[in-house]
Structures are given as structure tokens and as C-alpha cells.
Amino acid sequence: MNIKKGDNVKILKGKDAGKTGKVIRVSEKDNKITIDGLNVFKKHSKPKRQGQKGEIVNVVRPLDVSNAQIVCPSCNKATRVGHRINEKQKTRYCKKCNAAI
């Protein structure tokens, strides 16, 4: 997976298409990412105890990795990610401007 926690990404599909945000959680098993403040849905919760009211809670749902693209910190464009191996260390780079990510 090319996207890691802390990366800035741009959403390509869905109701928040075109918006950018920071990745807060990555699930490689499910191939999904969670972006801070984006892909938010409302969830109705039942009252836990008698006399307590139910409420509507905003929940951030995970998004498939294929629907997001990483934003290069140097050129500020959504781009694909390449990999280079330098002295036993694998680094990511921007395919548009060749800068390290």
C-alpha cells in the first residue's frame, strides 16, 4: 500500500470528491483508510439506560484506498507514488516532480 498514516490525500470518488485531508488510520487487511473529518455519516444510537435519550452521532467511516490519491508536499498535486531503493532503504517519490515524499 502506497498511502501511510499522516499522509495528505485527495478523495477522487464519493460524496467528498475533490476534498483533501490527513490520513488518521490505515487498514492494510481491508485495504481501507480513514481520513480526518471526511466521509462523515450520522449514526443513530439507542439509549443505554432507562430515562436516557437516544442521540445522533457523527461517525468517520473508512474509505477504500483506490478512491484516494496522495498529495505531493512539494508540488501540491495529487499524484501516483513510485519507489526507489537507496542503500538498503526504500523511499517513496512523486511521479510528477520526482521529489521524495
Question: Taking phi first (over 0 means left), then psi (-120 to 50 degrees means alpha), and beta for anything else, what does residue 93 get?
Answer: beta
Q: Per-residue pLDDT for 99 more than 90?
A: yes
Q: Per-residue pLDDT for 65 more than 90?
A: yes
- What pLDDT does 1 receive? 86
Report percent pLDDT > 70 for the chain. Answer: 100
Q: What is the pLDDT of residues 20-50, one digit of tens each?
A: 999 999 999 999 999 999 999 999 999 999 9
Best CA proximity match to 37, nearest among 73, 55, 12, 63: 63
Model confidence, pTM: 0.85
Look up residue 28 and give its three cell numbers.
Answer: 492494510
